[in-house]
Amino acid sequence: MSASRLSLVLLATAALGACATVAPMAPAPSRASIAKTPTELWTPEVAPQPERIMLAVHAQGLSSTQADALAAFADDWRAGGRGPVTLQAPVGGPDPAMVSRSTEGVRALLASYGAQVHVSGYEAKGDPRAPLIVGRERYAVSLPTCGLEWGNISRSATNEVQSNFGCAVSANIAAQIANPGDLLGPAEITAIDAQRRGVVLDKYRKGEVTAAARDDQAKGTVSQVVK
């Protein structure tokens, strides 16, 4: 084989070898490199957490203790509730008349507190002590643990968010929020007061004052100085 032909074969072999070479995989991007601001780096994590209370079925309906428990349940729901309240009644367990009486008592009491109650049944499998199950879905937020590690804040060539910046702010906000579900999105808008809107529009068309009447509670005075 001539020298020129041998050189061509070697060049072709080298080219094929170069094509078969696999480029090394790039490292996965870090959270700091993805986040644009410290608050994006330390976003609180919110997860659903079901809440359930069990109520025994009584012949006389709801007891005073059960009514107090439902009142506390309704207060928690109004303070941080999202979605309807579920009420599951046992089927094939206690006396049907007793179950119906207790179910209606629970539903009416919760409805009086403004809760939207979804009633359904579950198989009690012949258990005469099967309870009524009242539940709702609440949300819990996990707080980040700050100060565990610090990066070198003098190295800023990549312009990344510093690893611990913003952690304390996000943790404080998450700990103070009344309803963690609000971190997932805004609450649903309630229905408008059409009657009040009609009154205001009527006064506006007549050129009258549309503001509500001013009283002492509308004043911002916190103290009075006696001269």
Q: Is 184 a residue whose pLDDT tops 90? A: no
Same domain, 75 and 130: yes
Structural domain ending residue among the three candidates 138, 170, 201: 138
The helix (H) or strand (E) run that includes residue 46 is strand 45-55
pLDDT in tens, 33-57: 666 676 677 777 888 888 899 999 9
Question: What pTM does this model have?
Answer: 0.54
Question: Is 17 a domain residue?
Answer: no
Same domain, 54 and 130: yes
Question: Is 123 a domain residue?
Answer: yes
pLDDT value of position 31: 59
Would you say 81 and 188 are in contact if contact means Cβ atoms under 8 Å apart?
no
Domain of 114, in residue numbers: 50-138
Same domain, 38 and 54: no
pLDDT value of position 9: 52
Domain count, the chain: 2
Q: Is 147 a residue whose pLDDT tops 60? A: yes
Question: Is 213 a domain residue?
Answer: no
The band of 59, judged by pLDDT with boundaries at 50, 70 and 90, is confident
Q: Is 224 a residue whose pLDDT tops 70? A: no
Q: Is 133 a residue whose pLDDT tops 90? A: yes
Same domain, 115 and 62: yes
pLDDT value of position 32: 58
Q: How far is CA 185 from the centre of its chain?
A: 8
| DSSP states along 98-144 | HHHHHHHHHHHHHHHTT--EEEEEEE-TT-TTPPEEEEEEEEEEEPP
Average pLDDT across the chain, whole number: 79
Question: Is 210 a domain residue?
Answer: no
Same domain, 35 and 98: no
User: What percent of the chain lies above the pLDDT cut of 90?
Assistant: 23
Same domain, 111 and 173: no
Q: Tell me, what CATH number does 118's domain have? A: 3.30.1330.60
Question: Is 227 a domain residue?
Answer: no
Same domain, 118 and 75: yes
pLDDT value of position 102: 92
Same domain, 66 and 118: yes
Would you say 167 and 151 are in contact if contact means Cβ atoms under 8 Å apart?
no
Same domain, 39 and 76: no
Q: Is 94 a residue whose pLDDT tops 90? A: no
Structural domain ending residue among the three candidates 103, 138, 173: 138
Q: Is 116 a residue whose pLDDT tops 60? A: yes
CA angle 57, 60, 64 (to 5 degrees): 80
The band of 146, judged by pLDDT with boundaries at 50, 70 and 90, is confident
Question: Is 35 a domain residue?
Answer: yes
pLDDT in tens, 11-38: 555 555 555 445 455 556 555 566 667 6
